[in-house]
Chains A and B, each alone.
Chain A
Amino acid sequence: KNQVEQSPQSLIILEGKNCTLQCNYTVSPFSNLRWYKQDTGRGPVSLTIMTFSENTKSNGRYTATLDADTKQSSLHITASQLSDSASYICVVTSGSARQLTFGSGTQLTVLP
């Protein structure tokens, strides 16, 4: 059964600090992995996509990594801001475009 597990479940950090969110998956065959950011009361928005051949990809202060051998991905947030407070959801696509497996998300709170 395809599964995506995220850790930690929740995280509280101070503004300006860095943090790393983890995503482990057992999805086969692997197509791609996306990180979504979901602000409170809003729909999820894609931050980045990782394909099999990509190890690292940056989007501003967000850097995603992918290790296809260990089936792990991480999302590193640098110099956190209050606006980074949100739920971060890891989504893995397998086989066809429509087989999506969602993680349960990491709730990040950035305090001033």
Chain B
Amino acid sequence: DAGVIQSPRHEVTEMGQEVTLRCKPISGHNSLFWYRQTMMRGLELLIYFNNNVPIDDSGMPEDRFSAKMPNASFSTLKIQPSEPRDSAVYFCASSGDRVGGELFFGEGSRLTVL
């Protein structure tokens, strides 16, 4: 199994530009999570989907952030417009049905907004 696949691995953009991060979860996993990691705040849950349906998006910072999961094998996290304070590493993770199941993380997308 290839694991959780994220793209791009690195993104450098200018303030105001739109950023789209992509994630392919592990086949068969029905839950998908988007996390943001910074030195100051550690790992923060942004949103999670179960069976392609957003269940908890309370961690999404503001309207500039949006996430979609059009099918079981693909999800996007979009930031529009981007701001310097959005600079962070964004992780996608997936897990199976079992209660308290292990999260399998992707390698992350490092975003730098200038």
* Residues of A in contact with B (beta carbons under 8 Å apart): 31-32, 34, 36, 41-46, 49, 51, 89, 91, 93, 96-98, 100, 102-105
Asked if A97 contacts B99 (CB within 8 A), the reply is yes
* Residues of B in contact with A (beta carbons under 8 Å apart): 4, 31, 42-43, 45, 48, 50, 55-56, 91, 93, 95, 98-103, 105-108
| A36 contact set on B, CB distance < 8 A | 103
Cα–Cα distance between A49 and B98 once the two chains are bound (Å): 13
Asked if A89 contacts B105 (CB within 8 A), the reply is no
Cα–Cα distance between A45 and B102 once the two chains are bound (Å): 9
Asked if B102 contacts A34 (CB within 8 A), the reply is yes
Asked if B98 contacts A97 (CB within 8 A), the reply is yes
Given contacts A44-B105, A98-B48, A102-B42, contact A93 B100 (CB under 8 A): yes
Partner of A43, one of B56, B102, B107: B107
| A32 contact set on B, CB distance < 8 A | 100
Q: Give 10 nearest A-B pairs by CB, closest first.
A: A43-B105, A32-B100, A93-B100, A97-B99, A104-B42, A46-B102, A102-B43, A31-B100, A44-B105, A97-B100
Asked if B107 contacts A89 (CB within 8 A), the reply is no
A52 CB → nearest B CB, Å: 11
Asked if A100 contacts B107 (CB within 8 A), the reply is no
| B42 contact set on A, CB distance < 8 A | 89, 102-105
| B50 contact set on A, CB distance < 8 A | 98
Cα–Cα distance between A4 and B43 once the two chains are bound (Å): 12
Cα–Cα distance between A97 and B31 once the two chains are bound (Å): 10
Asked if B4 contacts A43 (CB within 8 A), the reply is yes
Cα–Cα distance between A97 and B95 once the two chains are bound (Å): 10
A91 CB → nearest B CB, Å: 8
